[in-house]
Structure 1
Amino acid sequence: MDTDKIKALQEDINNAKHIAFLTGAGVSTHSGIPDYRSKGGIYNGVAESPETILSDDTLFNRPQFFYNFVMNNMYFPDAKPNLIHKKIAEISNKKGTLITQNIDTLDTRAGNKHVIEFHGNLYNIYCTKCHKHLTYDDYAQGYLHKDCGGIIRPGIVLYGEAINPATLEKSVAAMEKSDLVIIVGTSFVVYPFAQLLAYRKPNAKVWSVNKTEIAASGINSIIDDARNVFLKINLK
């Protein structure tokens, strides 16, 4: 563990006026939710590409296949927020915004009041025909809406779908006003999420806390498990 870098990150957090957190699946692995592409991730060993499975085409043309994959691999209703979620929530609520790729709602359940769910969330469930919102328990009983026969879906951004324009606008605005950006638990290769970094202030400091290096210039990197780092981080 690089204690000097953690001290420098803590100092930047103390001095920042507004912080933008950009997070990914590595934040939720400590809550028992697997990531996507690592060994043991939800895409490991699947017969078809995630771009095919989690697409709007599969949702409507192979709804049972889509439903089985999502229900068996992506829902973890008993998962609880972990220390990383809670520390980010504490900092964000005082002087920051969290923009997350995660779709598990653990950040809001950790009490974070400033969350932008860039790719939507699994528990925003609705019927694609009548647009009625439904519960997870409703969805767990089957993908067809008993009232109208429409296909039920989670409100996540699928391959082939665009990011909600309002979400993009809010995310860019958060980046533009932040003087510190902290990237946590993501390989930072999925676009347009990774492109958000281009909207930071010219003088904004950028840190990444990740198990692997991020391929972007001008980033102060702490290569470590995020939980180890956030154990040492406190809000002054």
Structure 2
Amino acid sequence: MAAAFILHAGTVCVLTGAGISTESNLPDFRSSSGWWRKIDPKTVASVEALTNEYELFHSFYSARITALKQAEPNNGHDILAAWEAGELVQLTATQNVDGLHQRAGSQKTAELHGSLASFSCSVCHESAGKDAFLEGVGCRVCGGNLRPDVVLFGEPLPQEAWEKTFEAVRNADVLIVIGTSLEVAPANQIPRQTRGRKIYINKDRAGTWEDFDLILTGSAGSVLKQIDFWIQAVKQK
């Protein structure tokens, strides 16, 4: 049924969360083994941590960046990139900051929470390099602390990415939500912006699962592989 929804749609948008990257050996945030089960996010990933506890802030993001060096796009990322190339997907909006969609080849993306691929000064906003951040050196212009360009707790969301996403979702015939618990606003409002069909793919059901037309339980990569099998089978007829 999911394959039929996608093939018969004029426009398809995708929303992904951390669950799509767990198969790349990156932990999610709210599962039993997720980041936020081990540590209070506001102590390491907030404006307050950046300002008042920089050593802890730096240690946390250095660990995430180091883990990302070992990660590669998985089947889920690859399939979504292939669907985009085949004009089946018009936008992939992601809550992830790992850049794995882009590394898999997706070009029509919206990064709702920023990216770990770029860095800047927390004071003057001058751009900086990853190595400079990892080495813990100050800004080359003002000496301020460096940071990754991700959205911290207490910061506004990137308006351009969110406007792009809401516009695309409102006009979508199908919205596919993958690997997110939909517990955090405003991302949990995205599925309610479309009048099209909604597909939910996750290991666990979200609290708002009743809003979806189709719920597929399992790992993102395996479920997307099954859907892609039927899409390719129909195309070859």
Q: Gaps (5+ residues) in structure 2?
A: none
Could you tell me which residue of structure 1 aligns to residue 47 of structure 2?
56
Question: Which SS does the other structure have where 1:221 is aligned?
Answer: strand
> Alignment identity in percent?
31
- Out of 139, 143, 149, the position equivalent to 2:143 is 149
Deviation at 1:146, TM superposition (A): 4.5
Other structure's SS at 1:153 match: strand
Mapping 1:58-97, distance limit 5 Å: 58-73=49-64, 75=66, 76-93=68-85, 94=87, 95-97=89-91
**Structure 2 residue matching 1:43: 3-state secondary structure:** helix
Q: Provide the TM-score with structure 2 as the length reference.
A: 0.89
CA–CA distance in structure 2, aligned partners of residues 107 and 182 of structure 1? 15
AA matched with 1:189: E
Structure 2 counterparts to residues 53-202 of structure 1, below 5 A:
53-73=44-64, 75=66, 76-93=68-85, 94=87, 95-142=89-136, 144-200=138-194, 202=195
Cα deviation, residue 86, structure 1: 0.9
Matched length: 225
2:151 and 2:190 mapped to 1: Cα distance?
Answer: 17
Equivalent residue for 2:10?
17
SS class of match (2:204): coil
Unpaired segments ≥5 residues, structure 1: 1-7
The offset of 1:121, in angstroms, is 0.6
Range with greater deviation from structure 2 (127-136 or 55-64): 127-136
Q: Structure 1 length normalisation: TM-score?
A: 0.89
More helix as a share of residues: 2
Structure 2 CA distance for aligned equivalents of residues 160 and 40 of structure 1: 25
The root-mean-square deviation of aligned C-alpha atoms, in Å, is 1.6
Maintained 8 Å contact 1:19/1:92: no
Partner SS, residue 69 of structure 2? coil
